[in-house]
Amino acid sequence: MKVVLITGTNSGFGLLTVLEFLKKGYRVIATMRDVKNKDELVEKVENSGFIDRLDILQLDVTKKEEIQSVKNELIKRYGKIDILINNAGYSQGGFVSDLTVEQWQNQFNVNVHGVLRVTKTMLPLLREAGKAHIVNISSVSGSLGFPGLSPYCASKFAIEGFSESLRLELLKENIYVSLVQPASYQTKIWEKGLASIQWKQLEEDELKQAVLSYAAESAKSKADPLEVARLITKICEKKRPGFRYPVGKGAKLLSLAKRCLPWRLLEKIIISRLLSGKNK
Give the predicted TM-score (pTM) of the model: 0.91
Residue 218: the pLDDT is 64
Q: Is 214 a catalytic residue?
A: no
Is the pLDDT at 185 greater than 90? The verdict is: no
Looking at the structure, give the CATH architecture of the domain made up of residues 3-202+222-259.
3-Layer(aba) Sandwich (3.40)
Is the pLDDT at 195 greater than 60? The verdict is: no
The residues facing 149 across adjacent strands are 94
User: Residue 161 — very low, low, confident or very high, per pLDDT cuts 50/70/90?
Assistant: very high
Residue 188: the pLDDT is 55
Is the pLDDT at 278 greater than 70? The verdict is: no
Residue 115: the pLDDT is 98
Is the pLDDT at 98 greater than 90? The verdict is: no
Residue range 43-71: average pLDDT?
Answer: 97
Among 26, 78, 90, 152, the active-site one is 152
User: Residue 156 — very low, low, confident or very high, per pLDDT cuts 50/70/90?
Assistant: very high
Question: What residue segments make up the domains of the chain, in order of their start?
Answer: 3-202+222-259
